[in-house]
Amino acid sequence: MANAYFDHNSTSALKPQVLEAMMPYMTKQHGNPASQHSFGRHAHEAIEQARHQVAKAVGAQASQVVFTASGTEANNFAITGIASNLKQTQILTSSIEHPCVTNPAKAMQWRGWEAKSIQVDDSGNVDLRDLQTLLEAPTDLVSVMMANNETGAIQNIGRVVELATRKKALVHTDAVQALGKINVNFNDLNVHAMTVSSHKIGGPLGAGALVLNKRVDIQPLLYGGGQERGLRSGTENIAAIVGFGTACELAKQGLKDFSSHTLMLRQLLEIGLQRTDAIIFGQHANRLPNTSFFAFKNIDGETLVTALDKLGFAVASGSACSSASSEPSHVLLAMGVDPDLARGAIRVSFSADNTKKQVEKFLQAIKQAVKDLRQLTSVAA
Ligand SMILES: Cc1ncc(COP(=O)(O)O)c(C=O)c1O
């Protein structure tokens, strides 16, 4: 069992205050928010309070927040729901998006759309010239993530919006990794839709949201009893939504500390890594403060993750969401990284609870693990 958890971009531990806020809704407060009695009314009020908390944390109005069960659902909802009400032209997504953005875009090809990919440069930044070229063809929807889950590269959403809206295309951004790590302001970003997720910020699994500009016409993914203003039917997961609201409030309060503390840890880590032959991906990009993505030549990432786990450190190889497959990271391939080197990628993602001591011990452990693995392969060769 690992004693240092460095995989917060995959999922973060539930914060104690979040659990405390959720507890009544998992025990005595069991009303359905659609019911007229006091249990139902109380549940309804709890959801509306959480809606205000989420809205405040992301610089939106409460009426713009539609709760979903995950970031994946919100991204699917955004892409298919918005595209369904537009002309069938092309959907542009960046080549480093999470599959829950690119796959629904590809699925829309069955309904007459064309899905095209926007290139990134070798630092993992979306190539705005490529976007501009692609926008020469009729385009109605563009989706570019605010920050990448693997490299942490923060995208220039302001410029994406400028270029896309000049061509009258709507813009969606996946802010799942940005929330709680950098400032996220829906209003200032001027996007038409934005996705956030609860379990990446110390909230529970089972809650996410799509923040929607009121002028955007969108088709629901789920039809039924008309919850969420008819945009997302299904009895709400009240405890998870309440937890998400509390986690948003805490994330907003703790943003400065999270940023300075995790950046200090990452600098410590990367100074140590630079004394080895590690290659750090996107090192010169404007990145999330808590994220470092790197590889050692001729070392397999999954093997190194297992070795580090035995030494007490939980890290990810490539993207954890796709770790069921041993394909190299599509993000690194898009950045032009050699596939063999990409197979060695390790991602460290910190939270405010990680310590300098853990990072110092990790540096010793990783040096030892790499040395051992190299010795093993040289004996085998
Ligand atoms: C950038 C990004 N978008 C979307 C998701 C999916 O969010 P969820 O796990 O809430 O479905 C993830 C999960 O890792 C992610 O990193």
pLDDT, averaged per 10 consecutive residues of the chain (381 residues), comes to: 87 97 95 95 98 98 98 98 94 98 97 97 98 98 98 98 97 98 98 98 98 95 97 98 98 98 98 98 97 96 96 85 70 97 97 97 97 83 60
Active-site positions read: 321
Q: Specify whether 239 is located in the same domain as 260.
A: no
Does the pTM surpass 0.95? The reply is yes
Mean pLDDT (the chain) is: 95
Take residue 37 and report the two structure tokens written for it.
């009695």
Domain boundary among 224, 250, 276: 250
Place of tokens 């385009």: 139
Predicted confidence (pLDDT) per residue in 154-210, tens digit:
999 999 999 999 999 999 999 999 999 999 999 999 999 999 999 999 999 999 999
Model pLDDT for residues 215-264, shown as the tens digit of each residue: 899 999 999 999 999 999 999 999 999 999 999 999 999 999 999 999 99
Which of residues 218, 250, 282 is at a domain's end? 250
The pLDDT assigned to 380 comes to 64
Of the candidates 156, 189, 165, which has an alpha carbon nearest to the alpha carbon of residue 59? 189
CATH of the domain at 128: 3.40.640.10
At residue 3, the pLDDT reads 83
Q: Are 182 and 287 in contact (CB under 8 A)?
A: no
- State the CATH number of the domain containing residue 270: 3.90.1150.10
Would you state the pLDDT for residue 48? 98
For residues 156 and 276, state if they share a domain: no
> What residue spans of 34-70 are helical by DSSP H?
38-57
Residue 377's pLDDT is: 79
What is the token pair recorded at 5? 């958890």
- Return the pLDDT at 320: 46
Q: 146, 154, 177: which to mutate for ligand 1, most atoms within 8 A of CB?
A: 177
Residues 260 and 361 in one domain: yes
Q: For ligand 1, what atom is nearest to the CA of residue 197?
A: 10
Same domain, 241 and 297: no
CB 98 within 8 A of CB 233: no
pLDDT at 378: 74
Query: Ligand 1 centroid vs 11 CA: distance in angstroms?
Result: 9
- The residue whose CB lies within 8 Å of the most ligand 1 atoms, and thus the one to mutate among 68, 197, 221, 244, is 197
List pocket residues of ligand 1, CB cut-off 6 Å. Answer: 70-72, 75, 98, 100, 145, 149, 174, 176-177, 197, 199, 208, 321
CA atoms of 315 and 10, how far apart (whole Å): 9
Alpha-carbon distances, residue 127 vs 5, 51, 131 (angstroms): 33, 35, 6
Q: Are residues 154 and 301 in the same domain?
A: no
Question: For residues 296 and 273, what is the distance between their CA atoms, to the nearest angstrom?
Answer: 10
Give, in order, the Cα–Cα distances in Å from 272 to each of 14, 182, 243, 264, 344. Answer: 30, 25, 37, 13, 18
Number of domains in the chain: 2
Domain that holds residue 199: 16-250
